[in-house]
């Protein structure tokens, strides 16, 4: 029996791979996608989610538009320098004929969780604004979740500031509500997949070459990741590209790929230099499980296999190869 999964995301190159990994995995059914402003604005993240699903032949999966700004303070910057102006590294997808559903992200999550015959796993790969709304407005519904898997935070250094990872930094107040003080009548098993494990789960240039020879969808992902790789090289001096969001999705699909430790996580909501920091206390009253290690070979093989298995809808096989690097605007 397949397990239902909801994805709350801000596509984003690696969010695109998380969507495709879920669609290609027979163990789960992706029952909905909700969007949030983060890597790029809400109009773009919503359009990207629709177009990625249509490309994979799953335009039937409902997409609902969520929050474009954080709980309390406006977002001072997004991540176009890493993801490109269109959020997908300049890669252009055919425009889906589908649009978002009339429901808001919160409404879609609530209706899906309430009516599901099996408890739903919620995967969050963007700022936690929509999830915090769920916790605040519908705590009884939130308590019915089977599991919450969050890509965000770090035990060590951040990637947006020295102290903070981007998703948590983008809306620390929401992250505080979800990770530090959930305030739910029944605790939801929550796994925080942070930079300590996502930085280890990375594609090399050789891995990207493998994807480019594996069909249109995989090649398209490789080209988008090539843009991502150039940004990581420029900003962090890295010669590999981390798979942040796909790792969170992989862990949701195949629990145990990430080794966790139970911990209390204090999210810094001050306005100082540590804003968005996730202070992980392994000896305090635990609120979440925090990723401390990862089975890198198994995870990379799983994600790659899923991407290679997908056939494109709306793209002619071989078209990407014939256009080559023209698909990517630097």
Cβ pair 269, 176 in contact under 8 A: yes
DSSP string for 266-323? EE--SSSTTTT-EEEETTS---EEEEEEE-HHHHHHHHHHHHHH---SSS-TTHHHHH
Residues serving a catalytic function are 244
Rounded CA-CA distance 89/80 in Å is 9
Beta strands at 241-242 and 202-203: parallel, antiparallel or unpaired = antiparallel
Rounded CA-CA distance 323/9 in Å is 29
DSSP string for 89-156? TTPPPPPPS----SS-HHHHHHHHHHH-SSPPEEEE-S-SHHHHHHHHH-HHHHTT-SEEEEE---SS
């Amino acid at each position: 029996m397949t397990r239902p999964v909801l994805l709350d995301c801000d596509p984003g190159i690696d969010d695109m791979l998380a969507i495709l990994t879920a669609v290609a995995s027979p163990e789960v059914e992706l029952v909905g996608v909700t969007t949030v402003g983060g890597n790029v604005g809400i109009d773009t993240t919503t359009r990207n989610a629709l177009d990625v699903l249509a490309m994979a032949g799953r335009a039937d999966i409902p997409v609902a538009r969520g929050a474009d700004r954080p709980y309390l303070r406006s977002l001072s910057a997004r991540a176009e320098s890493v993801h490109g102006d269109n959020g997908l590294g300049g890669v252009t997808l055919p425009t889906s004929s589908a649009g978002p559903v009339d429901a808001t992200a919160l409404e879609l999550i609530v209706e899906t969780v309430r009516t599901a015959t099996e408890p739903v796993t919620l995967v969050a790969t963007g700022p936690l604004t929509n999830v915090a709304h769920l916790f605040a407005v519908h705590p009884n519904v939130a308590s019915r979740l089977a599991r919450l898997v969050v890509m965000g935070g770090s035990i060590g250094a951040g990637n947006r500031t020295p102290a903070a990872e981007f998703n948590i930094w983008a809306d620390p107040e929401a992250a505080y509500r979800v990770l530090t003080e959930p305030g739910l009548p029944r605790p939801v098993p929550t796994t925080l997949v942070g930079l300590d494990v996502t930085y280890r789960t990375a594609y090399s240039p050789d891995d990207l070459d493998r994807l480019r020879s594996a069909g249109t969808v995989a090649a398209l992902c490789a080209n988008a990741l090539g843009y991502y790789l150039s940004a990581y090289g420029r900003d962090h001096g890295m010669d590999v590209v981390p798979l942040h969001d796909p790792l969170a999705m992989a862990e949701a699909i195949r629990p145990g790929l990430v080794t966790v430790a139970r911990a209390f996580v204090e999210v810094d909501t001050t306005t100082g230099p540590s804003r968005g920091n996730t202070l992980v206390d392994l000896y305090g009253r635990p609120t979440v499980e925090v990723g401390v290690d990862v089975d890198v070979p198994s995870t990379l093989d799983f994600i790659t296999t899923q991407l290679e298995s997908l056939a494109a809808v709306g793209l002619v096989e071989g078209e990407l190869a014939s256009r080559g690097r023209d698909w990517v605007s630097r």
